[in-house]
Amino acid sequence: MAQSERSDQRRLRPAPLLFEPATAVADPEHFFDLESMEDPKELLGRATELALAFRAATDRAVEFQAIAAAQLADPRRFDRLTTADIARRAEWTEDYAQKMVEYGRTLLNTPSA
């Protein structure tokens, strides 16, 4: 396998998000130990891994929000919520809540691979 192929594969896998110790979190300058890295190549690599991991985590969380919104808006539920109620709970606009309900319905109706 060529070096560039290995780099591409490594980049596609998000870095594991590890919880930082409470003492490190209390220090506002501390962020996943990036501030202690002196080699800019290493810093760029780790920062990029973290950015990809956070992006992947955000995408996944949004999918779960959409699924939950669709489930809460399901007309078959006796306790279903309106999009206005969902918007209030999630701190969204009502238009965005409607789009998330629709997106969630597509996710729920798409068979898993």
Cα 67 to its chain centre, rounded Å, is: 14
- pLDDT tens-place string over residues 2-23: 555 544 444 455 555 555 555 5
DSSP label at residue 36: G
The two tokens of residue 88 are 């209030």
Question: Nearest CA to 84 among 103, 66, 72?
Answer: 72
**Greater pLDDT, 90 or 9:** 90
Query: For residues 34 and 53, which has the higher predicted lDDT (pLDDT)?
Result: 53
Q: Which residue has the higher pLDDT, 52 or 32?
A: 52
- Alpha-carbon dihedral of residues 110, 111, 112, 113, nearest 10 degrees? -110
Note the pTM of the prediction, 2 decimals.
0.67
Task: State the Cα–Cα distance between residues 23 and 73, nearest whole angstrom.
Answer: 42
**How far apart (Å, rounded) are the C-alpha atoms in residues 62 and 14?**
17
Residue 107's pLDDT is what? 96
Element of type H or E holding 109: helix 94-109
Q: What's the confidence (pLDDT) of residue 10?
A: 47
Provide mean pLDDT across the span 73-84: 95
Q: What is the average per-residue pLDDT within 28-33?
A: 73
* Mean pLDDT confidence for 90-108: 97
Structure tokens that stand for 78 in this block? 């006796």
What's the pLDDT score for residue 16?
Answer: 57
Instruction: Provide the pLDDT for residue 113.
Output: 55
Query: What one-character DSSP code corresponds to residue 35?
Result: G
The mean pLDDT value of the chain amounts to 82
